[in-house]
Structure 1
């Protein structure tokens, strides 16, 4: 489902994170130029996604009250608590900021989250790409790159005021993790992408959170050019009990790429 070709849509390209309401009716999409779009997902009588309506769009405001810009604006991961508090991870200057729900769309200032010492050592333009919150309110993140093909991606958990490394996921060739979420059964789920040279492939995996490297099960996978550069992931369950994954693509503000929201069903 495309964001379209209007001036508003072009301004809000580069989508890298998404959150969807529990009933699948609303969305919040994060641009990697530090802007947030909020709107409505339009569905037909069968619940199939047929369109969307962007109702608000705001530039994010930093802890000093300024609009986020320049090197600090590379926003990548988005997570939202049930109470409406938002968290955003950045990969230019490796950090996570948080906003209250009412504030983020009204120009409210960000607040700093503590940083794990490892965050300072992450690769430029490949850092905290994915962000998720579990049912207990703990925050999870991981970098887009692990450092080598043989090195797993480390997973960091924030709870009770501190970060700790709690596990890792295996690296498989050129596949890179770009989005994360927990489903309503508490299962950690990742969105991956693989650039083949002429298009993007996408993959969704579910992980058992045990051991040093968390085992994976592939739930969804596409070949190149099926979708655009899918980067954000949000999970919800519909009224029939079907688990659904909503993903958003990053067009990098390029005319030959596309911004779209994609929804697929996943097995339990």
Structure 2
């Protein structure tokens, strides 16, 4: 356990034991379609039977997940929608680089974008984006280092972490948005060369952070879990992969099945390159 310097009202109850992750498959998802690839954000719903994903070219896809003995055995695309402006026209190339998605319990959905840094609400049925949330920290982000880690808490608070690493090894600010205002709710320690690329908040209010490191031998991924409680903050490193164990994992979703078993699902961004794969990587959580 590593004590953190955090300043956030507790969102959750106490955690008595360190969770552990147990692999539950990493199938490759393939489709011969011009829009397919570049997946950067994922949300799992319907107790593991459905997923919503977004990609670097502004495509929003809803798909069913077929399972055998709890593992993904097939993916059935249900709807493919291009993200657009509120009036309906398509987003321009620079404006369509969607990186993070977060769906609240009431169905309100948010998408974060890079290059033209912003967070927008999105209508999942039409793909239309609206109610832009201005980022007061956007001048601190590189064009390709925007908000990839986007999550929404059970109370509706939206959380965002930029991929651009602060200078001098300083912690990553965890930004929180509620009642029309941004604040820095916590500071996430930089550890090694990993940077945030995905986030989710579970039903207990804990922050799950997916991080990536690019090495000469391939991508590495890490999952850290944070109990954000100023009275007893905790940080757990639950997964650290070796190069090439998985491809370029960028999106993460934490969910529970009908029996209450918690799962973590991640998706990889192939950057629309033949040498990379789209993988849907799953782990069961044991507590």
| Residue 145 of structure 2 corresponds to residue 86 of structure 1 | no
1:252, 1:244 → 2: CA distance?
Answer: 26
1:126, 1:194 → 2: CA distance?
Answer: 13
Higher relative contact order (CA closer than 8 Å, sequence separation 6+): 2
| Residue 252 of structure 2 corresponds to residue 229 of structure 1 | no
2:168, 2:200 → 1: CA distance?
Answer: 24
Structure 1 counterpart of 2:214, from 192, 195, 200:
195
- How far the C-alpha of 1:247 sits from its partner, in A, is 0.4
CA contact (8 A) 2:201 2:207 kept: yes
- For structure 1, which segment, 119-128 or 242-251, has the greater mean C-alpha deviation from structure 2 after superposition? 119-128
Structure 2 counterpart of 1:36, from 60, 67, 76:
60
1:208, 1:255 → 2: CA distance?
Answer: 39
Per-residue deviation, residues 154-185 of structure 1 (Å, max 9, x unmatched): 11111111111111111112101100001122
1:114, 1:183 → 2: CA distance?
Answer: 23
CA contact (8 A) 2:174 2:187 kept: yes
1:169, 1:267 → 2: CA distance?
Answer: 24
Per-residue deviation, residues 137-168 of structure 1 (Å, max 9, x unmatched): 11000101223351111111111111111111
Per-residue deviation, residues 92-127 of structure 1 (Å, max 9, x unmatched): 111001023xxx3325x3113332421233221101
- How far the C-alpha of 1:29 sits from its partner, in A, is 0.8
1:262, 1:114 → 2: CA distance?
Answer: 31
Calculate the aligned-residue CA RMSD, in Å: 1.6
3-state SS in 2 of match to 1:174? coil
1:183, 1:114 → 2: CA distance?
Answer: 23
1:137, 1:17 → 2: CA distance?
Answer: 19
Match of 2:22 in 1: none
CA contact (8 A) 2:118 2:135 kept: no
- For structure 1, which segment, 254-263 or 114-123, has the greater mean C-alpha deviation from structure 2 after superposition? 114-123
3-state SS in 2 of match to 1:29? strand
Relative distance call for 1:154 and 1:139 in structure 2 (3 A) is same
Match of 2:11 in 1: none
1:65, 1:106 → 2: CA distance?
Answer: 9
Structure 2 counterpart of 1:112, from 113, 127, 131:
131
Match of 2:28 in 1: 2
Per-residue deviation, residues 61-102 of structure 1 (Å, max 9, x unmatched): 1234221121111110101122322100011111001023xx
Match of 1:243 in 2: 262
1:123, 1:207 → 2: CA distance?
Answer: 26
Q: Which runs of 4+ in 1 moved over 3 A?
A: none
Match of 1:159 in 2: 178
| Residue 92 of structure 2 corresponds to residue 69 of structure 1 | yes
- For structure 1, which segment, 159-168 or 61-70, has the greater mean C-alpha deviation from structure 2 after superposition? 61-70
- For structure 1, which segment, 77-86 or 151-160, has the greater mean C-alpha deviation from structure 2 after superposition? 77-86
Structure 1 counterpart of 2:224, from 201, 205, 209:
205
| Residue 285 of structure 2 corresponds to residue 259 of structure 1 | no
TM-score, length of structure 1 as denominator length: 0.91
How many residue pairs get matched? 259
CA contact (8 A) 1:233 1:247 kept: yes
